[in-house]
Amino acid sequence: MSKKIPHRIYLTEDQMPTQWYNLRADMKELPDPMLNPATGKPATVKDLYPVFCTELAKQEMDNTTRYIDIPEEVLEFYKMFRPSPLIRAYNLEKALGTPAKIYYKFEGNNTSGSHKLNSAVAQAYYAKEQGLTSLTTETGAGQWGTALAEACCYYNIPLTVYMVKCSYEQKPFRRAIIETFDGKIIPSPSNTTNAGRAILAENPDTSGSLGCAISEAVEKAVTTEGCKYVLGSVLNQVLLHQSIIGLEAKIAMDSIGEYPDVVIGCAGGGSNLGGLIAPYMQDKLTGKANPRLVAVEPASCPSLTRGRYAYDFCDTGKITPLAKMYTLGCDFMPSANHAGGLRYHGMSPILSKLYHDGYMEAVAVEQTKVFEAATFFAKHETILPAPESAHAIRGAIDEALKCKETGEAKTILFGLTGTGYFDMMAYDAFLNGNMNDYIPTDEELEKAFEKLPKIPGIQE
């Protein structure tokens, strides 16, 4: 008789991967290179040094090293909150009445409440190794800022966090945690940087966006001695660090003889999704298997499903290098959706390329549908998901309901990136019927596309 698969599958520390996987090494075609906006020429690793730590800049540009050793000190930190469990959603399956088998990789079991700590630890470690004296970053929903504050506190590096103003106001307890870990926090846009002042002059009542906060954090880094900027998503290096999610998930799935037919993740800048699908994308790229890989994004900020595949700035202040990615235009201001971590105009260049080349799918979902899924999931699986993570839950439930119609017993794996304890204003709005589903019109999107940068010979 076959053994029943347990509810929770925990790897031992010894089973934890000791290397990150660099997806670019297996891509048939690489993402187009980042461009220096001043010259229109491909950015070199040296162009990145004023902004990023040296080792992280090298990882950003490394398209060939398939596996990169996780430093011993990072592994030691990882062991404080990893391996994270792979969970079989028996109760959710039962409640849905689906023949599908649903698994999720739960990354919310640490104080930051999300997967963001996986990259924060690595980035703070490399900064310490380089002898940097401070770091800056931005945070949208607050998870990244919290994660980085935890990591910087551990490595004793002062941190300034530019927090998107609407989250700063909506989530006072996120601020308190960041301050508990000695992070300095500034609502963005602020009058502490040129970028912030310019944005405020144009739109004094703006509630901010990730793009604005990035501009401020980058400016602070390049104008402060011994200070560098770190980012919690979008970049190649962040996807690399997040591959720990997928590598662990694959070891756990293999250990119970399971292989997913479909892997689903929420997509903001693409880091958790890129990390979760990494080893499965490797199988797909190398012809070993052909699972479906699905991004779920908010209908209010639909970069993959309605964006353009074009060169664009990564920030609103237009000071970062240009990346070729699916983008809504860096001037696009998403509506005040409650999934703050998914309110970003662009998408990881790696995922953008893979999506463009047909290796991935994407769907956009409305936020009330997302919160329906979140509350349903909470009731049956007893974990209160972050609104961002609930996008993946929505995607997984919809797949499972399709299986119910067709009678197929598909194996579904999704990423549960975090918990929603600091998102109770959002839950409250949903439960009281005060949540709307703003979807941008084609005209609104067109307006932002018109402002995409012109690069002679490349993007006219």
Chain residues binding ligand PLP by CB under 6 A are 114, 140-141, 143-144, 233, 266-273, 341-342, 386, 388-389, 417-418
Contact 245, 118 (CB under 8 A): yes
Pairing of the two strands 292-298 and 308-313? unpaired
CB of 121 to ligand PLP, least distance (A): 16
144 vs 229, beta carbon nearer ligand PLP: 144
d(CA 326, CA 270): 11
197 vs 356, beta carbon nearer ligand PLP: 356
110 vs 272, beta carbon nearer ligand PLP: 272
CB of 141 to ligand PLP, least distance (A): 4
CB of 298 to ligand PLP, least distance (A): 10
d(CA 190, CA 201): 11
Q: Which residues contact 139 (CB under 8 A, 6 or more apart)?
A: 145, 146, 148, 161, 162, 163, 164, 167, 178, 213, 232
Residue nearest to ligand PLP (CB): 341
70 vs 120, beta carbon nearer ligand PLP: 120
CB of 397 to ligand PLP, least distance (A): 17
244 vs 403, beta carbon nearer ligand PLP: 244
Contact 151, 123 (CB under 8 A): yes
CB of 191 to ligand PLP, least distance (A): 25
Q: From its phi and psi, is residue 218 left (phi > 0), alpha (psi between -120 and 50) or beta?
A: alpha
CB of 6 to ligand PLP, least distance (A): 25
47 vs 312, beta carbon nearer ligand PLP: 312
267 vs 325, beta carbon nearer ligand PLP: 267
CB of 277 to ligand PLP, least distance (A): 11
186 vs 238, beta carbon nearer ligand PLP: 238
d(CA 419, CA 212): 25
Please give the torsion angle defined by the CA atoms of residues 73, 74, 75 and 81, in that order, rounded to the nearest 10 degrees.
Answer: 120
CB of 258 to ligand PLP, least distance (A): 23
313 vs 414, beta carbon nearer ligand PLP: 414
CB of 146 to ligand PLP, least distance (A): 9
